[in-house]
Each structure stands twice: as structure tokens, then as C-alpha cells.
Amino acid sequence: MPWHIEKQDGRHCVIKNDDGHNQGCHDTRESAEKQMAALYANEEMMQSKMYLLDDFLTVRKGEPYRLFPLGRIVKGGTVREITKELAGKFRLPHFRPAIKLGSSTDRTSITGIKGNADVSIYETAEAGVKTGTKVTYLPFELTFKKFAAIAPVTDELLEDSAVAIWADLTSRFARAYAKKEDELVFTVAATGIINLGGVAPIAIIGDSIEDITFDEVNRAIYSVPTPSMQNGRFYFHRTILGVLQRIKDTQERYILTPGPDGPVSGTLWGVPYELTEVLTSLDNDAAGTPFIVFGDLKNTILGDRTRMTAKIFDTGSVVDADEEDLNLLTQDAQAMRVVKRFNALTVFEEAYAVISTGGAS
């Protein structure tokens, strides 16, 4: 057990086992037990999570929205049943992030609401008739997708390998799932950021990534609403770094500044950037191709219905990479099967700008 209760100076204190950290002291053991129960509930939440890319999402300038995980959730040690009827009762100013890192749901999808227009205010005379303003909230739903794979391994390879095969495969699958999450956020057809109709398009003058200038970088920053501009980042493939390192601003200063770990992280004209393998690389340079995204990922939801689960089998038949049947029992092999359910959805498309090469027909 990661926590225990011990008495210190006449009080009942909750102590973490591995490092002895004091989580808090209480006058009664009953209060200490309640805190420890909450800690265990939160620990359980972390094992199966539904979360936002960040704790807060802005749908319109200054306008938050609340994410409702329909179903049974555990939050702060308390079990709640969230229904559509309950979700519909929430009104401003009570909108705050309802679900954060560590909360979980048992449904196949999550439902939220977002405002589709800002409100307006009007000057009025003393005791004058007040002008009404219209505000509308629209629902959205994020449905989870299942991603799975099976990797067969011969008994001989397991016996002769100098590395731990199953541990290595687990790491490889984890990297593959991380890449798939990036694809769902940035590049997947129809719903990836670069394929959304509401983003701000920035076309460079020229049909090659090499033609990008300071002007396009500058326009991307100012093409999104102020909250997204203030918290925004650039996202691009690592092979684009060499091109961006050669760009200078109007005062002949290089706009790319490497961070403490070199060019892996740094700033582009004072704005942070992050590298992702899923956006267009310099090797795939072509006319009309999006290759840089700018914006605040708080406006995109990444939902994990289940964590990555792995099982190892030594009986049954699987289809290998060459589309041939492999009988694990008769052909002396084992297989690892991994499964994870998750998906991503952008709820405010206007929060992003996408820089593309020009010259598309």
C-alpha cells in the first residue's frame, strides 16, 4: 500500500510509504482514513484516464466551456454519475474545467458543449430599455476508436535474444500509440487540424518549404484569436529546423532560438515550438502541402478510454506481416497483443493557423 497512517505529536498523519512524505495530519483517525481513501481513489483514476491536452479550453475569446464525461466518474475521491440531464443544468458563470488529467469514464464517448458566438453589449440610458443579446451553445461528441496490433515472436528468438523482447516490444508499441495520437490531432483525414476548414490558412509565396519567409511565420501568429496567440506554439517536423534556422526577421536577426537541449525545443520569434514526426517532412516537400501548425492545443481534446493493455499468447493463429497464417502452438511461437481506445477532436478550429506551400493547382 502506498500510504499508511501514523501518529505524530498526537495527530493522525497520512504518510507515503516510498519516501515518507507527510500528506497531511488530522485530529481524528477517521479524518485521516478519509484522506487516504481519497488518495487511493485518485491513484485508481490515474490508471484509466480521460483528459484534455491541458486543463482548460477556450472556445471563443474569453469564453470557457465545460467537458462532461457521461457515465460513472471518480473525482476527488467521490463517485458521481453524470447524465445528459445533469450536464444540461450547468450555466455560466459556473463553467469551469470539469474533467482534468486523472478522471475516468465508463462510456464509449464523451459529450461537451461549446459557444458558437460571442455576446454583445450595448450602451443604454438611465432606466432605458435594455437590448438583448443572443448566445447559443452547441453540443459535440467525441467517440473513441480502438487501435490494436499483434506481434508474433518465435521461441528461438526469445531464447537467443540479448535483449528483453517483450519489454522492447512494449516500448515500441507505446511509441506507435504516441505517434497515432499525434496523427489524430494533426493529420488524420477530415478531423486533423491541417484538414479543418475553420483554421487560418497561410500560403507561402513559392511551392517549396524552402521558400518560407519571416512574413508567413509572423502572419500565422496574428491569424488566431488573442488567447490562442498568447498560449500558442508552433508544431512541425524536425527536418524543417534547418530551413527555419536560416530565416531572419526585418532587423536581420535569426528567428529560431534553440533551447537548453539544443534545437529539440526552443522558440521561433519568441514563440515556443515542438517537433512532431507526423507533419510533413522536408523529404515530402511539394506544392500545396501543409507543414507547420500554430495554435493552442487547449482547443483540442485527446480522450483516452483505456490505457494500453498488452497480453501474451502461446496458442492460436495469427496473420503475420506477410499476410500468412501462423499457428503459435505448432510453429513454436508466441505473440503479444496490444489494445488501446482513444481519439482526438478539435472543438475550436479558428484557434489554429496552418502554413502551407503555395502553387497548388
Say how far apart CA 230 and CA 223 lie, in whole Å.
Answer: 12
* C-alpha cell recorded at residue 134: 443572443
For position 62, what pLDDT does the model report?
Answer: 40
Instruction: Please check whether residue 312 is in contact with residue 326, taking contact to mean a CB–CB distance below 8 angstroms.
Output: no
Q: Is the pLDDT of residue 262 over 90?
A: no
Q: Tell me the C-alpha to C-alpha distance, in Å, between residue 308 and each of 168, 229, 311.
A: 15, 34, 10
Q: Find, among 25, 38, 50, the residue nearest to 76 by Cα.
A: 38
For position 97, what pLDDT does the model report?
Answer: 33
For the entire predicted model, the pTM comes to 0.62
Q: Is the pLDDT of residue 236 over 60?
A: yes
Q: Residue 85 is inside which H or E element, if any?
A: helix 84-87
Q: Residue 273 is inside which H or E element, if any?
A: strand 271-275
Measured distance between the N- and C-terminal CA atoms of the chain, rounded to whole angstroms: 63
The more confident residue out of 62 and 269 is: 269
pLDDT confidence tier of residue 49, bands split at 50, 70 and 90: very low
